[in-house]
Amino acid sequence: MDDFDQERSSGLPSFLFDPVGIVRRRWRWMLPVIAVGGVVAAAVVTAWQMQYVATARALLSGQRIPDEFVRTTVAEGFDEQLNAMVGEALSRESLIDLVEDHDLASGLSPDEEAGVLNRVRRAISIEQDRSINTGRESETTYIFSVGFRWGDPKKAAAVANDLVGRLITANEERRSRQARTATDFLRKDAERAEATLREQSKRIAEFKERYRGELPSELPTKTAKLERLQSQRQALGLQISEAESRLILLRTQGGAADPRLKSLSALEERLFHERSVNTDEHPNVRALQRQITALRTEMRSNPSGGEWSPLQQATVAAAEREIASLRTQLAQLESEMAELEIQVARTPARQEELTALEQREQVLRDNYADALKKVKEAELAESLEASQQGIKLSRLGPAVPPLEPEIPRWVLGLAAALVVLGAAAALAVALELLDPVILARGDVESLTGLPALGELPRAR
């Protein structure tokens, strides 16, 4: 068994193990494929527009002032911040400006101009720059690269640098806008808290005005006034008692012959004792007053005994007027005391109501103070963003026009040559399959279906 028989035993066609023989047998067919393919490949490689990739680097750094001093109102991580910036920088309006500013649509066909925005968007690449960052995650810095692929190296570099500038502008505007929005929201919240506090204070003022005299703060004054009126009441009681005693004496001296004077004196004495323990509204006091009034009316209409002199009558009338005046003063005093007692009795309930109102006012005052504090912090954070002391995006390295294309032309030429050679080899293999040749004993046996009787050695 020769070498071809051994190689055929592997299950593959025997001609595959004789590539030089394939070339000798099929070179007439392979040569036109190589020639035509070479010309086409050369034309394609020559006409192929090279793509250049320009890359600029940017640094996204954390807040420079510690959070203990100034707390930012834009709570976002680097990834969220970068995604937001990219979203704004790659918006349709931004891409239209980018195409117009750098004349990226020039030299394109009408069909290509219609899809220039999608083409520009696909040509942009933004990713973390691993060539500078270490393997450890940083909490304060994030370095990323902005690349742009285009046929003109100068335009590629200009667009990459412009994209970094747009990202920086988008970051500043977005963070300032977010800080300003947070400040406006907190300011409105503080205004609502102030209005609620003002309304509660107004309610307390109206409550104090409505229940003036029943407030807890007035209780000591009311109590002292009530004690003073009590003393005045006792003094008026003594004055009335003395005046009635004088009146009884005058009547006894002036009309001794009239027996009704003794009854009148007795009634007045009982009335004096009743008033010392009861008020004028008591039934006993009212009954005695009616009896005395009836007796006096009877004595005036039907006098008996000796007549009073004009001086005695004037003295008695003056004593009666004095007693009536004192009783009027006593009634007014007792009315005032009753009103004060009612007010004092209502003071505990008013105190509970006022305490509840004041407690709510204190809660609202604390809320308002907290809202003002948040507004101050938000305004400070807004000033921080305005001065670019928060999370900041800066240009780390500008893009320069690349000297070499992304895929060099010689690489394209090499790839084209391999394709042409592969096509020629495929044609040769196909011809070997369609027009097989006998290379080994196995080919003879397979072709004739008979066993081979012998073999000659291969001529060298």
pLDDT digits (tens, 9 = 90+) for 317-364: 787 788 788 888 888 888 888 888 888 888 888 888 888 988 999 999
Nearest residue to 386 (alpha-carbon basis) of 129, 184, 176: 176
pLDDT at 448 (0 to 100)? 63
Residue 61 CA to residue 393 CA, distance in Å, equals 6
- Convert the pLDDT of each residue in 13-43 to its tens digit: 666 666 777 777 777 887 888 888 888 888 8
Residues 369-393, mean pLDDT to the nearest whole number: 74
Structure tokens at 42: 């050369």
389 — pLDDT class (breaks 50, 70, 90): low
- Convert the pLDDT of each residue in 97-123 to its tens digit: 888 888 877 766 666 656 788 888 888
- Convert the pLDDT of each residue in 353-365 to its tens digit: 888 988 999 999 9
Q: Are 210 and 314 in contact (CB under 8 A)?
A: no
Q: How far is CA 82 from CA 87, 98, 179, 219, 255, in A?
A: 8, 19, 17, 68, 119
Structure tokens at 346: 């209502």
- Convert the pLDDT of each residue in 47-78 to its tens digit: 777 788 888 888 776 655 545 444 554 555 56
Residue 404 CA to residue 114 CA, distance in Å, equals 29
Nearest residue to 172 (alpha-carbon basis) of 395, 397, 392: 392
Structure tokens at 93: 């309006």
Domain at 52-188+377-397: CATH architecture: 2-Layer Sandwich (3.30)
Structure tokens at 195: 């209005």
Q: How far is CA 345 from CA 230, 254, 340, in A?
A: 17, 50, 9
The helix (run of H) or strand (run of E) holding residue 394 is strand 392-397
pLDDT at 253 (0 to 100)? 62
Q: Are 15 and 432 in contact (CB under 8 A)?
A: yes
Structure tokens at 126: 């933004």
Residue 277 CA to residue 291 CA, distance in Å, equals 19
User: Residues of the chain with pLDDT > 90: what percent?
Assistant: 5
Q: Are 240 and 275 in contact (CB under 8 A)?
A: yes
Structure tokens at 331: 């009634």
What DSSP designation does 59 have?
E
Residue 254: what residue type?
A: G
Residue 431 CA to residue 425 CA, distance in Å, equals 10
Residue 354 CA to residue 101 CA, distance in Å, equals 70
Residue 317 CA to residue 246 CA, distance in Å, equals 12
* Cβ partners under 8 Å of residue 53, min gap 6: 147, 148, 149, 156, 402, 406
Crossing angle between the packed helical segments 116-123 and 92-102, to the nearest 10 degrees: 90
- What residue segments make up the domains of the chain, in order of their start? 52-188+377-397, 216-373
Residue 195: what residue type?
A: A
C-alpha 194: how far from its chain's center? 19
* Cβ partners under 8 Å of residue 388, min gap 6: 172
Least confident of 95-109, 168-182, 443-457: 443-457
The helix (run of H) or strand (run of E) holding residue 147 is strand 141-150
Phi, psi of 150 (to 5 degrees): -155, 165
Which SS3 state, helix, strand or coil, does residue 96 take? helix
State the number of CA atoms in the 13 A half-sphere of 123 facing the CB. Answer: 26
Residue 133 CA to residue 143 CA, distance in Å, equals 7
pLDDT at 198 (0 to 100)? 92
**How many CB atoms lie under 10 A from the CB of residue 95?**
19
Long-range own/partner contacts, residues 131-139 (CB < 8 A, 24 or more apart): 132/57, 139/62
pLDDT at 136 (0 to 100)? 47
Q: Are 403 and 409 in contact (CB under 8 A)?
A: no
State the number of CA atoms in the 13 A half-sphere of 260 facing the CB. Answer: 16
Q: What is the CA radius of gyration of the chain?
A: 60
Crossing angle between the packed helical segments 310-386 and 219-254, to the nearest 10 degrees: 180
Q: Are 15 and 434 in contact (CB under 8 A)?
A: no
pLDDT at 165 (0 to 100)? 84
